[in-house]
Amino acid sequence: MSSQIDHLLDETRRFAPPAEFAADAVATAELYEEAQADREAFWADQARRLLHWHTPFTEVLDWTTPPFAKWFADGELNIAYNCLDRHVEGGHGDRIALLWEGEQGDDRRVTYAELTDEVKRLANVLTDLGVGEGDRVAIYMPMIPEAIAAMLAVVRIGAIHSVVFGGFSADSLRFRIDDAGAKVVITADGGYRKGKVSPLKPAVDLALADRNGSGAQETVEKVLVVKRGGNDVEWTHGRDIWWHDVVPQASSVHEAQAFGAENPLFILYTSGTTGKPKGILHTSGGYLTQAAFTNQVVHDIHPASDVYWCTADIGWITGHTYVTYGPLANGATQVIYEGTPDTPHPGRWWEIVQKYGVTVLYTAPTAIRSFMKIGRSVPKQFDLSSLRLLGSVGEPINPEAWMWYRKIIGGKTAPIVDTWWQTETGAIMISALPGVTETKPGSAQVPLPGISVDVVDEDGQHVGNGNGGLLVVTEPWPSMLRGIWGDPERFKETYWDKFASQGYYFAGDGARLDDDGDVWLLGRVDDVMNVSGHRLSTTEIESSLVGNEAVAEAAVVGASDETTGQAVVAFVIIKESYLKEHSAEGLAQGLRSWVGEQIGPIARPRDVYIVGELPKTRSGKIMRRLLRDVAEGREVGDTTTLADTAVMSVISAQVK
């Protein structure tokens, strides 16, 4: 089968960088030239410019044993020192690091001096608990300042954190604790979600109870608990410790020790479509270099004046790189929010933007589409004029969602950066540079300076402009994963074997190059459909559907079909205002023709199902595998990784 993915959708809108923005932008076009001239020297410059090195490095990249890269290997630094102490020592101790907003409307402002103080105390506590260099600490917490302090305290003493998203179950937590062999778990009694306390400590208790069954050896010695939810918790004496009993009392004197640049920093588990979750391993110097660099040039961070808000939870890579590490390394002021976007009212996010005067907002297409579904009247009630830059991450953003984001949230002026990257890449890889790049709705556009990507066919040959294929990264990059925890073979197999002779990293995504050579992501290669021998991307048909004024969100899958091999089956969410006025049959019929007219008869869905929700993972990605089951009339497969496990029965019922 050819790997060529047919290109169907034409998007021709272009937005030049506003002159005012460009005049003050951090990024400049020269960055591309500098990186082009000498890629390694470019990254070495960024590492020296953006970070403090206790011991300067003399080596840049060691790629003698691919795919195991070493960056800045003989240099030494302390990650927490770079994110905290040096800003205080540089006279910015009074600058606010965290503008924390609780779901209930309670708030806290934490300065760099205060956060540094807290992290030093906690580092002393962890050391007293016997945590040292290379030990693993699991963090299972709500979005509260202590969660960020916990990450930084762990890495300050050279230990490795594994943050587990607070929405994961006890089983998921147990797997992650066991796989990493965590010595300590840091958690909270609970945190606020959807108007009530969602318990965390009870899940930790469950995860640690009865280990005989799992066959795993008990590695956890202590559980440190922040009081946040006020919910009742059970207590295992000798194991459990209240944060408030030990951290405030601990000494705030703690000198950051230097660790090697390749010292492991964290493990973050990511689940693919098959197999157990993979513990993605990141290390220190290269990771922080690319985190700080991309946050600075892509999010255009001016630390003295910006109020930055990345809406991701620290349980995801976006929360690691663009809440904890990048912005704090840059000395930025940022908002963090504990709760859900619609609690206690659907305008909660926009109220927060207004309250803090947020200037840079970084969020996911799934959130944008859910706001589109409710309608513009909600954000219109708030003053969003402080926003000067918008970012998107996690999925392809359909051109119409991009346009809505620009118009309704960005006041028709704020540039939008669509940023492509992965848990594995550690930091942004493909994105426009705001103030430099002319933007195109729906395209991630260009690899960042110092990053090399290509779109290739099954043989690893460049497909050329105008064609679709497989997205690969062709050269090692500073924040690349260094492996899968405990499984070097799986690391090679999963990412490097496919293009072993070229030495390319295969990302699992389909992409297309337009006539300018810009990259358009087409979705996961596993989701590509084959209709009458044409390979069609989910993204383009979904974008066409979202381009219809009645549609807020769409998911498309290929279902087996006697005549065409596979047929396109669409599941769509209709905007609330249209649902009232139109019949479901009328809408479905209209949408089939719409796609047929917009991108051609080959892409016209055989079936269009109008549904109220789509099955999503807890990080907001649509699980097309489950929709394929419904479309083919099969029993629906494993739903345990869904954010809302009830969704599939509702959809199955709606389809019947």
**Applying CB under 6 A, which residues contact ligand WT7?**
270, 317-318, 393-396, 418-423, 444, 507-509, 521, 524, 619
Minimum distance of ligand WT7 from residue 261's CB (angstroms)? 23
| Nearest CB to ligand WT7, comparing residues 73 and 521 | 521
Minimum distance of ligand WT7 from residue 416's CB (angstroms)? 11
Q: At what angle do helices 201-208 and 170-180 cross, to 10 degrees?
A: 60
| Nearest CB to ligand WT7, comparing residues 311 and 423 | 423
- In degrees, rounded to 5, the angle at the alpha carbon of residue 225 between the alpha carbons of residues 219 and 228 is 150
Minimum distance of ligand WT7 from residue 420's CB (angstroms)? 4
The answer to whether the beta carbons of residues 491 and 483 sit under 8 Å apart is yes
Q: What are phi and psi of 358, to 5 degrees?
A: -60, 135
User: Which residues in 413-441 are b (16+ Cβ under 10 Å) and which e?
Assistant: ebbbbbbbbbbbbbbbbbbbbbbbbebbb
Bridge partners of 561, per DSSP, are 565
| Nearest CB to ligand WT7, comparing residues 284 and 422 | 422
User: Which residues in 303-326 are b (16+ Cβ under 10 Å) and which e?
Assistant: eeebbbbbbbbbbbbbbbbbbbbb
| Nearest CB to ligand WT7, comparing residues 3 and 423 | 423
Minimum distance of ligand WT7 from residue 191's CB (angstroms)? 21
| Nearest CB to ligand WT7, comparing residues 318 and 544 | 318
Minimum distance of ligand WT7 from residue 402's CB (angstroms)? 11
| Nearest CB to ligand WT7, comparing residues 384 and 507 | 507
Minimum distance of ligand WT7 from residue 620's CB (angstroms)? 9
Closest CA relative to residue 322, chosen from 348, 290, 353: 290
**Residues in CB range of 67: below 8 A, 6 or more apart:** 491, 492, 495, 496, 503, 505
The answer to whether the beta carbons of residues 322 and 311 sit under 8 Å apart is no
User: Which residues in 500-509 are b (16+ Cβ under 10 Å) and which e?
Assistant: eebebbbbbb
Minimum distance of ligand WT7 from residue 392's CB (angstroms)? 6
> CA 195 → CA 342, 345, 382, 644, distances in Å?
10, 10, 22, 17
CA quadruple 330, 363, 265, 247: dihedral sign: positive
Minimum distance of ligand WT7 from residue 394's CB (angstroms)? 4
Residue 116 burial (CB count, 10 A): 27
| Nearest CB to ligand WT7, comparing residues 507 and 554 | 507
Minimum distance of ligand WT7 from residue 417's CB (angstroms)? 9
| Nearest CB to ligand WT7, comparing residues 57 and 362 | 362
One-character DSSP codes across 39-60: HHHHHHHHHHHH---SB--S--
| Nearest CB to ligand WT7, comparing residues 232 and 497 | 497
